[in-house]
């Protein structure tokens, strides 16, 4: 029983080490050029896949940041409108009864309003930068696709001329 078990293991090991040539009419002289062509194609295909993966990941991240930035801009605008309304109400109170307490709070609200306005301009700048990055990423994806097609076409033409 033990010998048949060992025989089975050795059969499994030998079947794992066997590689088959998928090309039925393989020419031994052209195998070197085919191998280098296949290696170049594998490298190009691998770098294309890596570029597409990175591009996809960056696109997702930029869209996520873009969405969050849009939400923040909307929130800041609502806050700015609320502060403007509050400032108008405080101005009305100051006209009616100029108390030192009310004037102190009005000054604080005015400072907060200026900070929110400054933050809004920073957020808008960030939004513009994200939009520019998104456009650049899209343009580079198109450029990469065109260059990939061009290099593939040139390689095919070169192979056609050599054979």
What pLDDT is recorded for position 36?
56
DSSP state at residue 22: S
Residue pointed to by tokens 């294309």: 48
Distance CA 163, CA 160 (A): 5
Q: Tokens at residue 2, please?
A: 């033990």
Q: Tokens at residue 36, please?
A: 């280098």
Q: Is residue 102 part of a domain?
A: yes
At residue 141, does pLDDT exceed 70?
yes
At residue 128, does pLDDT exceed 70?
yes
pLDDT tens for each residue of 50-71? 888 888 888 888 888 888 888 8
Q: Is residue 106 part of a domain?
A: yes
Number of domains in the chain: 1
Q: Is residue 36 part of a domain?
A: no
Q: Is residue 19 part of a domain?
A: no
Give CA separation, 72 vs 18, 75, 113, 117, 135, in Å: 60, 5, 16, 13, 21
Q: Is residue 86 part of a domain?
A: yes
CA dihedral over 25, 29, 35, 36, signed as positive or negative: negative
Q: Is residue 43 part of a domain?
A: no
Pairwise pLDDT comparison (81 vs 144), residue with the higher score: 81
Distance CA 108, CA 91 (A): 13
* Residue 60 half-sphere exposure toward CB, CA atoms < 13 A: 6
Q: Is residue 13 part of a domain?
A: no
Distance of CA 72 to the CA centre of its chain: 21
> Hey, is 27 helix, strand or coil?
coil
Q: Is residue 126 part of a domain?
A: yes
pLDDT tens for each residue of 3-36? 444 444 333 333 343 444 444 444 444 455 555 5
Distance of CA 83 to the CA centre of its chain: 36
pLDDT tens for each residue of 75-107? 888 988 888 898 888 888 777 766 777 778 888
What is the span of the domain harbouring residue 156? 48-162
């Amino acid at each position: 029983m033990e010998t048949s078990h060992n025989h089975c293991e050795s059969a499994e090991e030998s079947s794992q080490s066997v590689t088959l040539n998928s090309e039925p009419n393989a020419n031994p002289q052209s195998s070197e050029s085919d191998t280098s062509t296949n290696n170049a194609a594998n490298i190009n295909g691998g770098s294309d896949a890596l570029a597409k993966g990175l591009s996809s990941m960056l696109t997702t991240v930029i869209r996520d940041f873009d969405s969050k930035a849009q939400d923040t801009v909307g929130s800041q605008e609502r806050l700015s409108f609320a502060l403007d309304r509050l400032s108008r109400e405080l101005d009305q109170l100051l006209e009616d009864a100029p108390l030192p307490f009310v004037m102190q709070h009005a000054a604080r609200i005015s400072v907060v309003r200026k900070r929110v306005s400054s933050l809004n301009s920073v957020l808008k700048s960030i939004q513009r930068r994200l939009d520019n990055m998104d456009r650049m990423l899209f343009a580079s994806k198109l450029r990469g696709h065109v260059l990939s097609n061009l290099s593939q076409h040139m390689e095919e033409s070169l192979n056609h001329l050599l054979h």
